[in-house]
Structure 1
Amino acid sequence: MTVGRILVVDDDAAIRTVVREALRREGHNVETAATVAEQRRKMRDFMPQVLVTDVVLPDGNGLDLVPEMLEANPGMPVIVLSAQNTLTTAVRATEQGAFEYLPKPFDLGELARAVSDALAARAAAGRDTAEAGKGEDLPLIGRSAPMQEVYRTIARVVANDLTVLILGESGTGKELVARAIHDLGSRAGKPFVAINMAAIPRELIESELFGHERGAFTGAAARTAGRFEQAQGGTLFLDEIGDMPFEAQTRLLRVLQTGEINPVGSARSIRTDVRIIAATHKDLPRLIADNAFREDLYYRLNVVPVRLPPLRQRIEDIGELANHFLDRAVADGLPRKRLDGAAVERLGQHNWPGNVRELENLMRRLAALSRDEWITAAAIDQQFGGDTMDGLAPAIATAGGLADAVEHHVARYFATFGRDLPPDGLFDRVMAEVERPLLTLALAAVKGNQLKAAKLLGINRNTLRKKLTERGIDPSDLRKMG
């Protein structure tokens, strides 16, 4: 892959940071600018080989400056980014001599590929698209508004060592976010160690985390380093932290407070230098209320929360994700398959209880089992069991009432995973799906008035506020409805 000097110009500090770190991860030498004046200075001093610029800047228009930049640096490809996603902007970018035009919100992988293609074109290396586009290894895919907010949060935390708590349903990609924070931050190149708290037997959790000395317990034939020691200098990812036994939470809290661990069976302390990223699909405040999770540990972990949207809330990303998984299937030796337009539309109608993981599994099955190159909506319906009703509302229309609708809906969870059971936390997921439309419709009926909505629902206002926060509902969005 060709690497080079890249200048990124955008007045949004978060965008500058995440693009800079993503391109540096690809091996590029990257500088940034926030204004036209700063851009002109760095064009002179840094002499970039590729310019990536926004259109609307505080002291000028990036699109109008393209001819000037090309005159100052002939042969330099210019990639234009713009939130003004209109045909006119795209045409103007081409007329001004831009190499590529990417509408905001853009996908980091797409930008990385555009930069690689631009460098390859500049060097006239004659590389084909597959070789020039190695930005596909960037872990997060999607340009929907919820994913853009995730990108912005990542950008704010990569430059520091603040503890991050990733929240989201099973299958939404929590470990991918954790790895992105590690890979884009100052600890990149150091160990990234992940441990799934739900997969470790209760009696072994402390040994797994903190290590143990020889003879510490039956079967401990030698000293073993725990995950904290293995992650020294890097990042420790505590997945499914909500499943951690209460007694082990106390030990973890002490480590977070003191920065020291004591291996099981040892009186000595070991100083640790790790960044902590935790994740869970569970409702930790509810676990705290049930005395199943320590409140003080929650506040230690929840320094910077990152909320991952379920796939059903980012439908516009499904086509891109599906094609990515089909490409990955080809890399794994499966036949090349393509989705037609009706198939993509059909995927958008599904409720996706298993989220992105379910979509990936579906694409792999289709790549392996479909006889034709083009995957149709009918082929997808066949994988879904021929049932095109994926939400509660369609089920209610054909069932005898809410109980039948919920039964129909929950049965889909089990059917989706075949012989396997769905991920743990089914009760919370179903309750969330029932509560969200109930709360949204009630608020819409009273034009966002929380006091009236609470009365309508028969709950107190504090309970309503808590549920709105848990479900990610903003009442201000509903004030104009009704």
Structure 2
Amino acid sequence: MNPARILVVDDDPHARDLLKRLLGMLGEVTQASDPKMAAARMAEEGPFDLVFTDMAMPNAGDGLLVLHEVRAHLPDTPVIVVTAFGNIEGALDSIQQGAFDYLSKPFDVDAIMRVARRALEQKRLVEENRSLRKQVDRGAMVGRSPGLLEVYKQVARAAATSVPVLITGETGTGKEMVARALHRRSPRSTGSFIPVDCGAISESLMESELFGHARGSFTGATGARRGLFEEAHGGTLFLDEIGDVGPKVQAQLLRALQEGEIRRVGESAPVKVDVRVVAATNKDLKARVAEGLFREDLLYRLDVVHLHLPPLRERREDIAALVEHFAALHARGGVAPVVAGEAMARLTAYDWPGNVRQLENVVARALALNVTGVLGPQDFPEPIGDAPKKLIGLAGDMPSLAELSRRYAAHVLQHVGGNKSEAARLLGVDRKTLYKLLEAQEPEE
């Protein structure tokens, strides 16, 4: 974790120096002598994780100015107000206006450190929750096709149990997304979800990675280490690309599923584990059993509940919803772009060998390079954007550039609730140009 960045605002240099010495144990401390300098520090030196500000700075301004500046530009950054003994009312006002806490002078060293650590922990939790929400949004199961609706039903039923689940489907269909959905909806949701890419770990390392090892059990084992089965105790272990696991680890996985226990490499004593195993593969495991490459008894243990994810080409009716979802997820400035009808038709017609993962990457790339706010066929790479019209039965939606600009301007205006100044700011134009864009019409034949 990076050291915290803390801003101290006080017109008293002795107070600033004292806070810098104390808070320096928690991270990097920047000083400012008044609200104006504090605003400059925030603008020039980037975001801060925590702000301490004096409440009353007679020759410089009010600490509430600092509070308002932080709330406006760094809403997740906690602000701790420092007040003189006789100014508690002002401190309480600051709490009502969003301050995290207040401290009175003369300073209590223990109180300063205690409140600062609590504030930084809150900041960390806010950022962690935002990151988790993004992951959930990114992994949202989007679509209403019959095949996907059946998957929804099976996930809902299986989530309530702890039996192993095998998820099959082509690369990029969202197998890990479904595994996470199973975990989130299960009684184990408060436990850990541990994903393992079995195809990316060599056979020699897989045993230690999954089951742990004792000190000195092999060259380089300088200390004992818990494996991922133990890390996932009480939660879910997701074994992606299970078909790539070798015979030795297959035998150990079978024992873990049958007995509910594992043995660390170099130890003889078993360790009990309470783990739900969800496995996934893009291979035909029955064919691998027939070839002698996968244990039949392990397949039976893994395949208690079977979820199959259809490829994107078999649920084309979901593509438009997925495009809109990914466009909103990757939109710049919070405004999702308009996708022209021809572009959407060609996206829907494409077979997507990389499935949902490929679609997201293509939409994200198009947004990164597009400056108009309207995605057309030219924004997508071959062969997607160059698919012949006759293959997709286009209705001939080929609006002019002026009309596309008008549509996007109207879209942005609707997004900001009709606020023309805000719409102009997001579009990077003045209000006069915005009016011209909104008034643009298709030229007459």
| TM-score, normalization by structure 1 | 0.51
* 2:198–2:244 contact (8 Å) kept in structure 1: yes
Q: Report the more deviating stretch, 201-210 or 135-144.
A: 135-144
* 2:238–2:277 contact (8 Å) kept in structure 1: yes
Give the structure 2 partner of residue 239 of structure 1. 240
Give the structure 2 partner of residue 297 of structure 1. 298
- Cα separation, partners in 2 of 1:287 and 1:369, compared to 1, 3 Å: same
Distance across 1 between alignment mates of 2:285 and 2:224: 34
**Could you tell me how far 1:246 is from its partner in structure 2?**
1.8
Between the two proteins, what is the percent identity of the paired residues?
Answer: 46
Distance across 2 between alignment mates of 1:307 and 1:211: 31
- Cα separation, partners in 2 of 1:386 and 1:317, compared to 1, 3 Å: same
* 2:198–2:245 contact (8 Å) kept in structure 1: yes
**Could you tell me how far 1:356 is from its partner in structure 2?**
0.3
Give the structure 2 partner of residue 256 of structure 1. 257
Confirm or deny that 1:370 pairs with 2:332: no
Q: What is the one-letter code of the residue matched to 1:339?
A: V
Q: The residue matched to 1:212 in structure 2 has which SS?
A: coil
Q: The residue matched to 1:194 in structure 2 has which SS?
A: strand
**Could you tell me how far 1:138 is from its partner in structure 2?**
7.0
* 1:164–1:301 contact (8 Å) kept in structure 2: yes
* 1:231–1:274 contact (8 Å) kept in structure 2: yes
Give the structure 1 partner of residue 311 of structure 2. 310
- Cα separation, partners in 2 of 1:327 and 1:232, compared to 1, 3 Å: same
Q: Deviations over 1:90-127 (max 9, x none)?
A: xxxxxxxxxxxxxxxxxxxxxxxxxxxxxxxxxxxxxx
Moved over 6 A (4+): none
Structure 2 residues not aligned, in runs of 5+: 1-132, 392-445
Q: The residue matched to 2:215 in structure 1 has which SS?
A: coil
Distance across 2 between alignment mates of 1:350 and 1:362: 12
Give the structure 2 partner of residue 57 of structure 1. none
1:252-291 maps to which residues of 2 (within 5 A)?
252-291=253-292
Distance across 1 between alignment mates of 2:390 and 2:251: 42
Q: What is the one-letter code of the residue matched to 1:139?
A: A
- Cα separation, partners in 2 of 1:373 and 1:137, compared to 1, 3 Å: closer
1:457-476 maps to which residues of 2 (within 5 A)?
none
* 2:234–2:275 contact (8 Å) kept in structure 1: yes
Distance across 1 between alignment mates of 2:334 and 2:361: 13
**Could you tell me how far 1:386 is from its partner in structure 2?**
2.9
Q: What is the one-letter code of the residue matched to 2:306?
A: P
Larger Rg: 2
- Cα separation, partners in 2 of 1:192 and 1:386, compared to 1, 3 Å: same
- Cα separation, partners in 2 of 1:217 and 1:334, compared to 1, 3 Å: farther
**Could you tell me how far 1:377 is from its partner in structure 2?**
2.7
* 2:377–2:386 contact (8 Å) kept in structure 1: no
Q: Aligned pairs, how many?
A: 260
Q: What is the one-letter code of the residue matched to 2:209?
A: E
1:40-51 maps to which residues of 2 (within 5 A)?
none
Q: The residue matched to 1:170 in structure 2 has which SS?
A: coil
* 1:192–1:234 contact (8 Å) kept in structure 2: yes
Give the structure 2 partner of residue 471 of structure 1. none
Give the structure 1 partner of residue 79 of structure 2. none
Give the structure 2 partner of residue 208 of structure 1. 209
Give the structure 2 partner of residue 324 of structure 1. 325
Distance across 1 between alignment mates of 2:353 and 2:293: 26
Give the structure 2 partner of residue 352 of structure 1. 352
- Cα separation, partners in 2 of 1:155 and 1:335, compared to 1, 3 Å: closer
Distance across 1 between alignment mates of 2:137 and 2:215: 45
Q: Deviations over 1:259-314 (max 9, x none)?
A: 11000011111001011100000000110111111111000000000000101111
Give the structure 1 partner of residue 170 of structure 2. 169
Give the structure 1 partner of residue 193 of structure 2. 192
* 1:335–1:368 contact (8 Å) kept in structure 2: no
For the aligned residues, what is the CA RMSD? 2.6
Give the structure 1 partner of residue 62 of structure 2. none
- Cα separation, partners in 2 of 1:335 and 1:202, compared to 1, 3 Å: farther
Structure 1 residues not aligned, in runs of 5+: 1-132, 392-482
Distance across 1 between alignment mates of 2:137 and 2:260: 37
**Could you tell me how far 1:384 is from its partner in structure 2?**
3.4
Distance across 1 between alignment mates of 2:369 and 2:388: 20
* 1:208–1:226 contact (8 Å) kept in structure 2: yes
Distance across 2 between alignment mates of 1:380 and 1:390: 18
Q: The residue matched to 2:280 in structure 1 has which SS?
A: strand
Q: The residue matched to 1:348 in structure 2 has which SS?
A: helix
* 1:381–1:387 contact (8 Å) kept in structure 2: no
Distance across 2 between alignment mates of 1:318 and 1:265: 50
Q: What is the one-letter code of the residue matched to 2:297?
A: D
Distance across 2 between alignment mates of 1:183 and 1:389: 43
Q: Report the more deviating stretch, 339-348 or 195-204.
A: 339-348
* 1:336–1:367 contact (8 Å) kept in structure 2: no
Q: What is the one-letter code of the residue matched to 1:190?
A: G
Distance across 2 between alignment mates of 1:298 and 1:251: 13
Distance across 1 between alignment mates of 2:281 and 2:345: 31
Distance across 2 between alignment mates of 1:237 and 1:347: 31
**Could you tell me how far 1:250 is from its partner in structure 2?**
0.9
Distance across 1 between alignment mates of 2:185 and 2:286: 30
Q: What is the one-letter code of the residue matched to 1:215?
A: G
Distance across 1 between alignment mates of 2:321 and 2:165: 27
* 2:338–2:375 contact (8 Å) kept in structure 1: yes
* 2:326–2:364 contact (8 Å) kept in structure 1: yes
Give the structure 1 partner of residue 411 of structure 2. none
Q: Deviations over 1:189-235 (max 9, x none)?
A: 11111101101011011101100111111111111110100000000
Distance across 2 between alignment mates of 1:256 and 1:271: 11
Confirm or deny that 1:341 pairs with 2:341: yes
Distance across 1 between alignment mates of 2:166 and 2:390: 31
Q: What is the one-letter code of the residue matched to 1:379?
A: D
Q: The residue matched to 1:222 in structure 2 has which SS?
A: coil
- Cα separation, partners in 2 of 1:234 and 1:356, compared to 1, 3 Å: same
